[in-house]
Amino acid sequence: MDRRTVLKGLAGAGGLALTGFAAPAIAQGAAARTLRFVPQANLANFDPIWGTQYVVRNAAAMVWDTLYGIDDQFVPQRQMVESEEVSSDGLTWTFKLRPGLKFHDGTPVLAKDVVASLTRWSARDPMGLMLKAIQNELTAVDDKTFKWVLKQPYPKMLFALGKGNAPCAFIMPERIAQTDPFKQMTEYVGSGPFKFAKGEWVPGAKAVFEKFTDYVPREEKPVWLAGGKKVLVDRVEWVIMPDPATAAAALQNGEVDWWENPITDLVPVLKSNKNIGVDIGDPLGNVGSFRMNHLHAPFNNVKARQAILMALSQEDYMRALVGDDNALWKPLPGFFTPDTPLYTEAGGDILKGKRDFAGAKKLLEEAGYKGEPITCVVAQDQPITKAFGDVTADLLKKLGMNVDFVATDWGTVGARRAQKTPPAQGGWHMFHTWHAGADCINPAAYTALRANGDKAWFGWPTSEPVETEITNWFAAKSLDEEKAVAARINKAAIDDVVFAPTGFFLGYTAWRKTVSGVTKGPIPLFWGVSKTA
Amino acid sequence: MLAYALRRVLSTLPVMAIVALFVFSLLYIAPGDPAVIIAGDQASPADVERIRANLGLDQPFLVQFGSWVWRLLHFDLGTSIFTSLPVSALIAQRIEPTLSLMMVTLCLTIIVAVPLGVVAAWKAGTWIDRVIMAFAVFGFSVPVFVVGYILAYVFALKFDWLPVQGYTPLAQGFWPWLQNLILPSVALGCVYIALIARITRAAMLEVLQQDYIRTARAKGLGQGGILFIHALKNAAVPIVTVVGIGIALLIGGAVVTESVFAIPGLGRLTIDAILRRDYPVIQGIVLLFSFVYVLVNLLIDITYTLVDPRIRY
């Protein structure tokens, strides 16, 4: 019997049976001001600079505040900062902190804390590293003012300080921020709207966040990571649920209040329950990715990579992942997140229309492919990569390729994809992954799009046109200029097949209707969320 | 007996050392690198190397093993790579739920399975025997997670009698503790009830054919006395053996059950650690489980002498 079928059937039956049933005693007894949340994954560590998993970033955003925060227009808004000033040559940035900022241990947030935090962050973050490379000095002028002096202008400064991509520029007390960025810190004191209850932390099972009563929210309306982060509950308990059917059942009978990412199979059950609200969680969704290794034959030849694009059906990938729910996916003839300012389809024709297998086979032949085994490493423990891997195996077979399908776990894929050796010696030809749409709105955090050879992401693509245009984007001073550059990046990245996009997909979030204030955003936003009994 | 027990406990030390070396070697050669997982997708190879160096993973095998053994000799199981918490603290956090689950399951199993096996043997060949054995086959055949989902649907979702997930420590009250354990224990217990019921039946059938049982019957002893005083005691050795093995097997079963019912026990900790290649945690848990296994075997041996005075060490 298939586990997923059983799970779906029983959860479905549970959903139907529950209609009309009141919440159980166990739920009624719970404090109304405690919000119980099922996160996307286990919170195994809690240093947002040392570890960059999304779940760590999401928890960290509750505990640590940032100097700026991006809003739903991707514009960085002031958050901990009261004002900023940039010199006319664009080299000296002077920032002033807003009054009333306090850390959870009661100490005030000072400029020296900011300097230490930014120093640690800039050792690990791609934008931070760029800033570090052109930094003259980063110093505290007085308790409330700090100054960043650069050797050359950096127009994306505020975006770097406010972006939501991990690692975010979170501000920590100096003593904590002085931890080696490659070592994990063990103290979790921030100045954000929630305090982390370390004593109640059971890694792998539960993490508790308490309202920080001394937090002074901004006056502006909250939008994503910007604006007034007003906390309306006393506690948020993260309950880790390894089994989706259990999470669905727990949500249905009121043992939890909010499930970040219900699996597609269970969404119809949740939608049929009148006590549960379901909607798209993160409107920026995800970009599916099929990466080929540019170092080894046949994919060291652009024709072989283009052959894949010519035959690849994004719909096949997306259907394998989300089934018949058309609200959950879009074709993506490009690399940038749909419905965001830089989205473009320039040069994306090869991914559109009827798939051309004959043309693809011809290109493969021209690339010199003669039936050698193609090592396709697939993480079977990740539903997304499992679905993608199955579709790719079928695609390659249709193209007459000899597939060596290596079914393994994500931990192994993570280590193996870093191997540059030939596939026969422990390396690889291809693997699948996906990127949060929030990381793909522009080149700032889009590591996967980089094509700077040895320094590039796994697959190590080399494309001078892509790299030149990415540099141009960082220097762009207006949105129109950025859009023009993005179109050129997109075309160049498709021409050289930096990687193959397998489509754009979204996910749902689900909550009990006793909870209000759940909004769409790139991360689960807990400010403005309240709960009745 | 005390000397024997002491000897047995001491003899576990080399066994555990061999297990530890084996586990350590296995993890060392297994694919997967915690530093890569920690570093995340943005990291450069240099970043990964720095993390590896900080974690001591760049050291030669013998150095890593030596340092682990040294710490072990000081009763230090090391520190989790991912949480930076002591492994002993992580195990301590998780041991109560797993022990509770195992204990309740074991009690339930013995209470249900032994009488079922006795009755099946007593009524061998009748419809009662067939029904009990059919139940045993069912219990053996259906995966734990399927039973778990059915139980959760019926008793948590439909009737709203019991919670579907989680664990409440015993310190917070007996009933809150027990109500979280009933469904997982029944789900996990099905397999063991089936196993022990079958073994009990087989052992009882053999004993019931012995001359002394016939003599007891001839003397006019009641059926209950024959079954539970004379027969069961003499059939106890294989039953005790299977119960003991069952305890060891429960550790494996708990992994699935803890996931299905979201119980924060050692099973889930093990799975999380394996997926992340959190070596110190895996090593600590394997050592613990090895010790439990050896200890259970010792207890079985001691129990033999209690149920069968002919056995001496």
Has residue A123 got a pLDDT over 70?
yes
Residue pointed to by tokens 């195992």:
B102
Q: What's the mean pLDDT in B286-307? A: 82
User: Among A225-239, A404-418, B31-45, whose mean pLDDT is lowest?
Assistant: B31-45
* Phi-psi region at A170: left, alpha or beta (left = phi > 0; alpha = psi -120 to 50): beta
**Other CB atoms within 10 Å distance of the CB of residue B189:** 29
Identify which of B118, B122, B153 has the alpha carbon closest to the alpha carbon of residue B232.
B118
Task: State whether A25 and B85 contact (CB < 8 Å).
Answer: no
CB-closest option in B44, B261, B272 to A246: B261
- pLDDT band at A112; cut points 50, 70, 90: very high
Chosen for mutation from A184, A185, A208 (greatest number of chain B CBs closer than 10 Å) is A184
Alpha helical stretches, state H, A19-110: 25-28, 54-63
Residues of A with Cβ-Cβ distance to B50 under 8 angstroms? 182
- The C-alpha atoms of residue B225 and residue B239 are separated, in whole angstroms, by 19
Among chain A residues, the shortest Cα distance to B31 is held by A412
Q: What is the pLDDT of residues B169-226, one digit of tens each?
A: 999 999 999 999 999 999 999 988 998 999 999 988 888 888 888 888 888 788 777 8
Give the model's pLDDT for residue A310.
Answer: 97
- pLDDT band at B42; cut points 50, 70, 90: low
The pairing of strands A81-86 and A92-97 is: antiparallel
**Other CB atoms within 10 Å distance of the CB of residue B175:** 9
Has residue A272 got a pLDDT over 60?
yes
Has residue B50 got a pLDDT over 90?
no
Identify which of B78, B69, B62, B87 has the alpha carbon closest to the alpha carbon of residue B17.
B69
Contacts of A89 (CB under 8 A, 6+ apart): A153
- The C-alpha atoms of residue A207 and residue A196 are separated, in whole angstroms, by 8
**What is the value of ipTM here, to two decimals?**
0.83
Q: Tell me, what amino acid is at B65?
A: F
Give the model's pLDDT for residue B224.
Answer: 79
Task: State whether A14 and B93 contact (CB < 8 Å).
Answer: no
**Cα of A99 to nearest chain B Cα, Å:** 34
Residue pointed to by tokens 């002028």:
A141
Among chain A residues, the shortest Cα distance to B261 is held by A246
Domain A3-9+33-62+183-282+507-531 has CATH 3.40.190.10: yes
Q: Tell me, what amino acid is at B252?
A: G
Task: State whether A183 and B264 contact (CB < 8 Å).
Answer: no
Question: Can you list the positions of beta strands (E) in A108-177?
Answer: 135-140, 145-150
Task: State whether B152 and A241 contact (CB < 8 Å).
Answer: no
On the 0-12 / 13-18 / 19+ scale of CB atoms within 10 A, A190 is buried
Among chain B residues, the shortest Cα distance to A47 is held by B83
Residues of A with Cβ-Cβ distance to B158 under 8 angstroms? 14, 17-18, 21
Residues of B with Cβ-Cβ distance to A245 under 8 angstroms? 149, 152, 260
Question: Can you list the positions of beta strands (E) in A322-470?
Answer: 329-330, 373-379, 402-408, 430-436
Residues of A with Cβ-Cβ distance to B261 under 8 angstroms? 246
- What's B158's DSSP letter? I
User: Among A22-36, B53-67, B227-241, whose mean pLDDT is lowest?
Assistant: A22-36
Q: Retrieve residue A229's tokens.
A: 């982060």
Task: State whether A52 and B48 contact (CB < 8 Å).
Answer: no
Question: Cβ distance A226 to A79 under 8 Å?
Answer: yes
- pLDDT band at B145; cut points 50, 70, 90: confident
Q: What's the mean pLDDT in B280-299? A: 84
CB-closest option in B31, B39, B42 to A412: B31
- pLDDT band at B23; cut points 50, 70, 90: confident
Residues of A with Cβ-Cβ distance to B143 under 8 angstroms? 1, 3
Among chain B residues, the shortest Cα distance to A182 is held by B51
Structural domain boundaries in chain A:
3-9+33-62+183-282+507-531, 65-177, 286-505
Chosen for mutation from B28, B29, B37, B42 (greatest number of chain A CBs closer than 10 Å) is B42
Q: What is the pLDDT of residues B231-289, one digit of tens each?
A: 787 778 888 888 887 777 787 788 889 989 999 999 999 888 888 888 889 888 888 88
Residues of B with Cβ-Cβ distance to A242 under 8 angstroms? 259, 262, 268, 271
- pLDDT band at A20; cut points 50, 70, 90: very low
Measured N-to-C along each axis, helices B87-122 and B266-276 cross at an angle, to the nearest 10 degrees, of 130
Residues of A with Cβ-Cβ distance to B264 under 8 angstroms? 202, 204-206, 240
Has residue A199 got a pLDDT over 50?
yes
- pLDDT band at A412; cut points 50, 70, 90: confident
Has residue A333 got a pLDDT over 70?
yes
**Cα of B277 to nearest chain A Cα, Å:** 7
Element at A97 (helix H, strand E)? strand A92-97
pTM of this structure: 0.86
- The C-alpha atoms of residue B235 and residue B196 are separated, in whole angstroms, by 12
Q: What is the pLDDT of residues A441-458, one digit of tens each?
A: 999 989 999 999 988 999
Among chain B residues, the shortest Cα distance to A166 is held by B42
Angle at the Cα of A336 from the Cα atoms of A332 and A341, rounded to 5 degrees: 115
Cis peptide before B86 (omega within 30 of 0): no
Task: State whether A18 and B157 contact (CB < 8 Å).
Answer: yes
Q: What is the pLDDT of residues A138-150, one digit of tens each?
A: 999 999 999 999 9
**Cα of A249 to nearest chain B Cα, Å:** 7
Ordered strands of the A145-150 beta sheet: A81-86, A92-97, A145-150, A135-140
**Cα of B177 to nearest chain A Cα, Å:** 13
Has residue A383 got a pLDDT over 90?
no
**Cα of A87 to nearest chain B Cα, Å:** 31
Identify which of A193, A214, A262 has the alpha carbon closest to the alpha carbon of residue A525.
A193
Has residue A68 got a pLDDT over 50?
yes
Residues of A with Cβ-Cβ distance to B164 under 8 angstroms? 246, 249-250, 253, 255
Task: State whether A183 and B165 contact (CB < 8 Å).
Answer: no
Identify which of B267, B265, B262 has the alpha carbon closest to the alpha carbon of residue A239.
B262
For the domain bounded by A286-505, which CATH number is listed?
3.10.105.10
User: Among A232-246, A277-291, B49-63, whose mean pLDDT is lowest?
Assistant: B49-63
Q: Which of the four CATH numbers 3.60.150.10, 3.40.50.10860, 1.10.40.50, 3.90.76.10 does domain A65-177 have? A: 3.90.76.10
Chosen for mutation from B27, B150, B160 (greatest number of chain A CBs closer than 10 Å) is B160
More confident residue, B221 or A92: A92
Residues of A with Cβ-Cβ distance to B157 under 8 angstroms? 14, 17-18, 249, 252-253
Q: Tell me, what amino acid is at A36?
A: R
Q: What's the mean pLDDT in B93-115? A: 92
Supply φ then ψ for residue A519, to 5 degrees: -120, 160
Identify which of A229, A233, A282, A230 has the alpha carbon closest to the alpha carbon of residue A78.
A229
Cα dist. A502→A292, A332, A340 in Å?
13, 7, 18
Question: Cβ distance B246 to B106 under 8 Å?
Answer: yes
Has residue A200 got a pLDDT over 90?
yes
Task: State whether B54 and A180 contact (CB < 8 Å).
Answer: yes
Give the model's pLDDT for residue A32.
Answer: 67
Question: Can you list the positions of beta strands (E) in A160-285?
Answer: 194-196, 206-211, 235-239, 258-259, 276-280
